Chain A
Amino acid sequence: MHSKFLFLVLLLLIPLAHADQAVIKKDDPVLEKRVMDLSAHLRCLVCQNQTIADSNAELAVDLKNQVREKLQQGQSEQEILDYMVKRYGEFVLFSPLVKSTTWLLWFGPLLLLIVGMGVLIAILRQRRKMMQQAPALSTVEHARAASLLSGKNDGGQS
């Protein structure tokens, strides 16, 4: 009984365990919004599939502080992104830049779609051609097909 109660209390505490996610000082909501917006474009290098906006890793918090500091100093969003790229490389940008080395990454799926559609159309065409080339049914065969389709057994092979 006692342990059940404890379990319930712990269950209630679960939401609190996430409460500290991405803690920041919220003195200036406008600035915080800019910090978070920009942070959403930066990859957390410790937890690589997260942005620093989503991450609570120590490095992510530090980087958010840097972003805030630089915004306060009046730097533009682009200047801050450039600074991060200079330090951490282009990988720090959460969505890769569109340039010749990333064309395949960006347009590969589209390319696959086009190739797939092409193959599909070719196969369908070939099939239609085969249907047209198939010998037409004789009158007897037509009659038999009709009786088969209507569900009556014509007594042929079953």
Chain B
Amino acid sequence: MNRFLLPLGAFIVLVIFLWIGLTLNPREVPSPLINKVAPTFRLPQLHDAAKTIGPEDLRGKVWLLNVWASWCVTCRQEHPLLVELERQKLVPIYGLNYKDNRDDGLALLRNSGDPYTLSAYDREGNVGIDWGVYGVPETFVIDKSGLIRHKFIGALTPELIQNKLIPLVKELNGA
């Protein structure tokens, strides 16, 4: 009896480990930038190349930075959710138009609606790298003091917005 107990025990432990492994998503690499000051940048705006935008302009308010591009299929799926979120006027959404063609980006916003208060235009993707972007779309939540408080990797979903994003924004605005 005993001689089977040990291998059986080892097997069960292995199964538990593998089971946990199956539920993890290796694509979601936790960002080391959480609770750090948002990396600074100064980029031309998407709509008006003569004007610039940077995180410093947004000190004192809670805001979202949504990294998007017209070539990104998942961003297009996410887009209506952002438009809807913008209508609720809970939090301003700023866009980082990532490695995109200016005209393509603008065309997308014309056709599908523009949820962004402003979009920064990151042609080379250098700001993206500075922010640790590796899978577009990504959405950062930045608090009043300019700290990154959360990062959503991949497209937002109605559940994520309801259960995570909106409560977090409310909490940050309350504090």
Which chain A residues have a beta carbon within 8 Å of chain B's beta carbons?
45-46, 48, 58-59, 62-63, 66, 85-91
> Interface stretch among B24-32, B54-62, B103-111?
B24-32
Please report which residues of chain B, range 38-59, place their CB below 8 angstroms from some CB of chain A when the two chains form the complex. 39
Chain B interface main SS type? loop
Range of interface residues on chain B?
Answer: 10 to 19
A48–B27 Cα distance when bound, in Å, is 8
Contact of A89 among B29, B99, B125 (CB under 8 A): B29
A59, A66, A85: most-surrounded residue (chain B CB, <10 A): A59
CA distance A45 to B99 in the complex (A): 17
The distance from the CB of B57 to the nearest CB of chain A, in whole angstroms, is 22
Contact B32 A87 (CB under 8 A): yes
CB distance from B10 to the nearest CB of A (A): 11
> Is the CB of B33 closer than 8 A to any CB of chain A?
yes
**Stretch with Cβ within 8 A of A (4 or more), from B12-20, B73-81, B89-97, B131-139:** B131-139
Interface: B84 (CB within 8 A): no
Q: Is B126 an interface residue (CB 8 A)?
A: yes
Complex Cα distance, B99 from A48, in Å, reads 21
Closest A-chain residue to B153, C-beta based? A45
> Which residues of chain B are near A89, meaning CB under 8 Å?
29-32, 132
